[in-house]
Structure 1
Amino acid sequence: MIIKDLQIAHRGIPLERPFKTALRTATEIESIEVALILENGIIGKGAAAPTWVITGDSAESIQAALLGPIKQVLVGKDVYRFRTLLAAIESCCVGNTSAKAAADMAMHDAYCKLLGVPLYRYLGDKKPLETCMTVGVDSPEKMASDAKQAVTDGFRRLKIKVGSQPGLDIDRIEAIRKAVPDDVMLRLDANQGWKPKQAVQLISQMEKREFGIELIEQPVAAHDWEGLKLVTDHVGVPIMADESLFSTRDALQLVAGHYVDLLNIKLMKCGGIANAWKIASIAETYGISCMIGSMMEPGLSVGAAAHFAAAHPNVIYFDLDAPLWLTEKPDTMQYNRGEISLSDKPGIGRL
């Protein structure tokens, strides 16, 4: 079954409210959508969202990679050479992980549509998914109010953005802890906002105050692996790599060197479902559990991540709330409070 064409579309999707982290404030997202058109009319779809401060990919670079080297290795080829084509996407250019992720999703979507099965079934399982809700960085009072509203909306796990003003972070977490029930789990995401020794000091204070922190993502700069290890070795709360993890090689080095306790996999960073599966399996070999996360992305790409997460046994944490921040409601999955339901339609399964 020959791939006849690869087409793209570029559009903006406004957010319901600003999304604030230690790295940026966003009021809308850009979505670059790719369509793989097969000779029998089946269309496989994927999407990418540029995130300059994390992946380094822009809308222009994503489009150039998709319409250049990625299109060249796919169009005219037989989609049944599925694994060979996924490898070709990975090797056709350096970097460009967001563009590769969009093409990888489209390949999986098209292939599963040919087989007539939903993506999770092709991958092999469908465990329950319960996402956390993100609380953007702000004043302690505003964050406590947002956290309380998220719990009212039915979320039992909150991902708290910190790191933009480390001196305020203890006050932020204390205010949130007082505002929500004790059984609500708190996850912190510093987005590289702390220095290593500062991170140890802050986390140790949180442990003494029994704030009930489930895990902490990327406390230090992405390149500072030794700093990451210092934090991991000197606190009790599990430490998770996010921006430090892009490739399968990164995953192997992080887990083999005991730099962190957990890994956060994002399709935009690793280049798609094929590499995400490899990363989760590498971590599984070393007894390191994984989270599936996302950037601020459209429902199509988050839906692909959800199918992967439902299928892989070593992905046990889920951070898939991005579509809930958009004015456009997702059509690849449904949310019931924190629970996510996937479509049984073939492919990624647009509802």
Structure 2
Amino acid sequence: MKIVAIETGRLAAPLKRPFKTALRTVNAIDDVIVRIVTDTGQVGLGEAAPTAVITGDTIGSIVWAIEEVIAPQLKGMAIENIEAIFEKLDHCLVKNSSAKAAVDIALYDLYGQLYRAPLYQLLGGYRRQLSTDITISVNDPEQMARDSVAAVQLGYDTLKIKVGKDPALDIERMSLIRQAVGNDIKLRLDANQGWQPKEAVRILQRLEDRGLEIELVEQPVPAHDLEGLKFVTDHVTIPVLADESAYSPLDAVKIMQLRAADLINIKLMKTGGIRHALQICAMAEVYGVECMMGCMLEAKISVTAAAHLAAAKPVITRLDLDGPSLCATDPLPGGARFDEHRITLTDEPGLGFDAALCPGFTERPAPGKM
């Protein structure tokens, strides 16, 4: 099974409501999708989310990296030799993690098709069903409380609350949400780098003093500030989850060695795909650190890939894979089944999509040299 073409297209989906964080506001998903065509007629699908404020990747940079750099390097290689392909993918250009992730996902899709097995079984096969949290966008406290109640009514028992814009208001937000949903619902905080270390400790200690029972806090300080991250971890009892601070396996192992955070958030757009995410899982098992499987604001292809990885590895104990549930429409049939908080993987080979039904390629950007 040899690669004969790598094509890019676009996958768009409106959101049910605006997605608001301390870093950005988004009204619709507009992702780059990848189709790797083989000489046997089988096709692998991948997806990249352009998240300039986090990864630095834009639609233009992703398309250019795939069509002008990655595709010429990988054309003609055999899926049977997947490690050789990944080695070339790693070294053909630096950074560009979202572009690499899209290609990596499509390669793993083909790898599953090659061996006629769903990907999660090839990666470990730990479980088939998963449960995700859902994100509550940052708004005024009353609106966030209403949104939280609505999510609980849909069956979610874990909410990820976006904070980080106004410390005093963040405390009010959490108090109102806890009052609205009761004590049986797990609440996770995501500050998206919005606080400084001492400020984060002060806020989190006040939340602890109020008995709000916060399950974890995600990336309370700027990504580069590992000393600050460790300061927060050392001074609060709420578990700290490293997100933007942990891109690569090297980042993750440094955090583990420093004990700068209690947990690691793995996202395929940060790691450059499943291969490096697996390396983080292996190191987390050695260090005894649990992981969350997260996503950017992504659609169904890449989140299905993340779900397969999460289903394969017991070290991934928490999920934040709500991207498809935030979409107003399902842009692509197949893949994992997303029923609000419940995610179920199918027995279809690879990721389980029918590439012939994949939209976005009839008016795709003009391909570069292959």
Q: Is the 8 A contact 2:325 2:340 kept in 1?
A: no
Q: Which residue of 2 aligns with 1:81?
A: 81
Correspondence list, 1:3-22, <5 A:
3-22=3-22
Q: Indicate the percent of aligned positions where both proteins have the same amino acid.
A: 46
Alignment of 1:160 with 2:145, yes or no, is: no
2:24 corresponds in structure 1 to 24
Instruction: Name 1:122's counterpart in structure 2.
Output: 122
Cα distance in 2 between the residues matched to 1:99 and 1:328: 24
Q: Identify the residue that residue 303 of structure 1 maps to in structure 2.
A: 304
Deviation at 1:10, TM superposition (A): 2.0
CA contact (8 A) 1:213 1:237 kept: yes
Q: Does 1:348 align with 2:351?
A: yes
Deviations along 1:270-297, one digit per CA (max 9) or x if unpaired, are: 0000000101111221111000000001
1: CA distance, partners of 2:146 / 2:105 = 37
List aligned pairs for 1:70-149, cutoff 5 A: 70-127=70-127, 128-149=129-150
C-alpha separation in 1, matches of 2:61 and 2:290: 32
TM-score by length of 2: 0.93
1:336 Cα deviation after fit: 3.3
Contact 1:335-1:341 at 8 Å conserved across structures: yes
Q: Please name the residue that 1:229 is paired with.
A: 230
How far apart are 1:199 and its partner, in Å?
0.4
1:246 aligns with 2:247: yes
Give the Cα separation in 1 of the matches to 2:338 and 2:155.
11
Contact 2:46 2:104 in 1 (8 A): yes
TM-superposed CA distance for 1:164, in Å, is 1.3
Q: Partner of 1:81: helix, strand, or coil?
A: helix
RMSD: 1.1
Contact 1:166 1:193 in 2 (8 A): no
Deviations 1:274-324 (A, max 9, x none): 000101111221111000000001101000000000001211100011111
- Within-5 A mapping of 1:36-47: 36-47=36-47
Per-residue deviation at 1:254? 0.4
Aligned to 1:332: 335
Which residue pairs with 2:362 in the alignment?
none
Deviations 1:4-40 (A, max 9, x none): 1111102432211100000000001211111111101
- Tell me if structure 1 keeps the 8 A contact 2:158–2:187: yes
1:110 CA displacement:
0.8
Partners of 2:115 and 2:222 lie apart in 1 by 43
1-side partners of 2:26 and 2:262: how far apart? 30
Deviation beyond 6 Å, 4+ runs, structure 1 = none
1:167 Cα offset (Å) = 1.9
Aligned to 1:211: 212
SS where residue 30 of structure 1 aligns?
strand
Q: Which runs of 5+ in 1 are unaligned?
A: none
Match of 1:49 in 2: 49
Question: Equivalent residue of 2:12, what SS?
Answer: strand
Tell me the residue number matched to 1:189: 190
Provide the secondary structure at the position in 2 that maps to 1:143: helix
SS at structure 1 position matched to 2:138? coil
- State how far apart, in whole Å, the 2-side matches of 1:13 and 1:153 are: 21
Q: Deviations over 1:27-60 (max 9, x none)?
A: 0121111111110100011010100000000000
SS of aligned partner of 1:80: helix
If asked which structure has higher relative contact order (CA below 8 Å, sep 6+), I would say 2
Query: Which residue of structure 2 lines up, in the alignment, with residue 290 of structure 1?
Result: 291
The answer to whether the Cα contact below 8 Å between 2:126 and 2:314 also exists between their aligned partners in 1 is no
CA contact (8 A) 1:144 1:172 kept: yes
Deviation string 1:140-182 (CA, Å, 9 cap, x unpaired) is 1000000000000000000000001122000000000000021
Segment of structure 1 superposing worse, 325-334 or 222-231: 325-334
CA deviation profile, 1:191-238 (whole Å, cap 9, x unmatched): 000110010000001111111100000000001111100000000010
| Residues 343 and 350, structure 1, Cα contact 8 Å, conserved in 2 | no
User: Displacement, 1:92?
Assistant: 1.0
Range 71-80 or range 91-100, more displaced: 71-80
**2: CA distance, partners of 1:27 / 1:301:** 19
